[in-house]
């Protein structure tokens, strides 16, 4: 069984004064994985760039560099892809029952097989993930002695979903885990960062996954065009199962309703778009429109 999606991610910048140069890098092309295949993909930048270059970064993510040198007051970057997904969410009851301490010891001693570099790297602190005293105190009730790591993942995701409120606009990319815990509300990237921090604080590898989740309107209502959004979740390393993807925002393991763009240590490694501009005045507005729909279901995409 498989699901095939049409994906459109459009980013629009409007500037208050002419921009003489825009230089950016996008991470908006879905990865090819054993359970996901990018069938077609295209990136359109308007105004047309003077130079573009495709690149695969350190983590294996597909990125595209562009340079727009034509003066402009609006920049639109549109990524279109068709993606086939065959991913099946794991049953927690059938995952290997290694105690979390055993996994942490294997990582510390390097007994992780061929993934040593990726696994060890995913334990280190990073720009947006800090293993603070507040994180350790929050996570402590979940990390009881001898508990299987699979159970830890289930409980962390459930606690984040039930103990913290999802509140759009309540945080920024610079919000720390301590600030999230203090205010009790955030968005998907905050929840992913918190779960990653809790795992790393106990010597367990965890990475940040960027992508999309198919949203479905309530019965009798039409799906709004452009109303989907980027999403973020966590991949934790479990011996015998590899990287296991968990979505703490929705308290579930990741299945074929998700499309993976890329992964890294945290958000800073996989933002959809980053860059610099040259202009004599400051000020701009940003709008982002995302559509993820079953292939062929929307003729306007």
- Of the pLDDT bands very low, low, confident and very high (cuts 50, 70, 90), residue 223 is low
Question: How crowded is residue 221: how many other Cβ atoms within 10 Å of its Cβ?
Answer: 8
Tens digits of residue pLDDT in 233-270: 999 999 999 999 999 999 999 999 999 999 999 999 99
Longest C-alpha distance within the chain, in Å?
61
The one-character DSSP state at 122 is T
Residue-level pLDDT at 273: 94
Contact 63, 57 (CB under 8 A): yes
Q: Which domains does the chain have, with CATH numbers?
A: 3-86+271-294 (2.60.40.2250), 92-254 (3.10.620.30)
- Of the pLDDT bands very low, low, confident and very high (cuts 50, 70, 90), residue 219 is confident
DSSP 123-145: TS-BTTB---HHHHHHHGGG--T
Rounded to an integer, the average pLDDT of 180-209 is 98
Q: Where are the beta strands (DSSP E) in 30-103?
A: 36-46, 51-56, 62-68, 72-85
Query: Is residue 163 pLDDT above 90, yes or no?
Result: yes
* Rounded distance between C-alpha atoms, residue 142 and residue 68, angstroms: 50
Helix residue spans in the chain (DSSP H): 100-109, 116-121, 133-139, 149-163, 177-183, 188-200
Tens digits of residue pLDDT in 7-65: 999 999 999 999 999 999 999 999 999 999 999 999 999 999 999 999 999 999 999 99
Query: Is residue 76 pLDDT above 80, yes or no?
Result: yes
Angle 138-188-219 from CA coordinates, rounded to 5°: 125
Query: Is residue 295 pLDDT above 80, yes or no?
Result: yes
Residue-level pLDDT at 173: 87
Asked which of 48-62, 63-77, 132-146, 285-299 is least confident by mean pLDDT, the reply is: 285-299
Rounded to an integer, the average pLDDT of 227-233 is 87
- For the chain, how big is the Rg over CA atoms in Å? 20
Residue-level pLDDT at 226: 57
Asked which of 59-63, 118-122, 198-202, 279-283 is least confident by mean pLDDT, the reply is: 279-283
Q: Which two tokens stand for residue 233?
A: 């979740």
Residue-level pLDDT at 224: 61
Contact 38, 32 (CB under 8 A): yes
Task: Tell me the helix, strand and coil percentages in the chain, rounded to 5.
Answer: 25, 40, 35
Residue-level pLDDT at 225: 64
Tell me, yes or no, if the pTM score tops 0.85.
yes
Query: Is residue 198 pLDDT above 80, yes or no?
Result: yes
Closest-CA residue to 275 (of 126, 60, 80, 52)? 52
Stronger pLDDT, 117 or 229, i.e. the higher one: 117
């Amino acid at each position: 069984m498989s699901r095939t999606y049409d994906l459109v991610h459009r980013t629009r910048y409007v500037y208050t004064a002419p921009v003489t140069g825009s230089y950016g890098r996008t991470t908006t092309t879905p990865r090819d994985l054993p359970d996901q295949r990018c069938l077609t993909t295209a990136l359109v930048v308007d105004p047309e760039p003077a130079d573009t270059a495709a690149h695969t970064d350190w983590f294996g993510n597909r990125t595209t560099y562009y340079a727009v040198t034509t003066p402009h007051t609006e920049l639109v970057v549109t990524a279109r892809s068709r993606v086939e997904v065959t991913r099946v969410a794991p049953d927690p009851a059938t995952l290997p029952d290694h105690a979390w301490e055993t996994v942490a010891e294997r990582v510390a001693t390097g007994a992780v097989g061929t993934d040593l570099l990726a696994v060890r790297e995913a334990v280190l602190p990073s720009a947006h993930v800090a293993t603070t005293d507040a994180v350790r105190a929050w996570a402590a009730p979940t990390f009881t002695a001898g508990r299987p790591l699979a159970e830890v993942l289930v409980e962390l995701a459930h606690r984040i979903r039930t103990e913290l409120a999802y509140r759009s606009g309540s945080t920024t990319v610079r919000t720390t885990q301590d600030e999230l815990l203090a205010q009790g509300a955030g968005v998907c990237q905050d929840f992913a960062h918190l779960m990653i921090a809790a795992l790393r604080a106990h010597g367990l590898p965890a990475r940040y996954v960027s992508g999309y989740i198919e949203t479905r309107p309530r019965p009798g209502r039409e799906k709004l065009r452009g109303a989907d959004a980027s999403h973020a979740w966590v991949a934790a390393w479990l011996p015998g199962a590899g990287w296991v993807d968990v979505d703490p925002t929705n308290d579930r393991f990741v299945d074929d309703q998700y499309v993976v763009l890329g992964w890294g240590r945290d958000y800073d490694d996989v933002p959809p778009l980053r860059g610099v501009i040259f202009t004599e005045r400051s000020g701009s507005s940003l709008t982002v429109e995302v559509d993820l729909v079953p292939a062929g279901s929307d003729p306007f995409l």
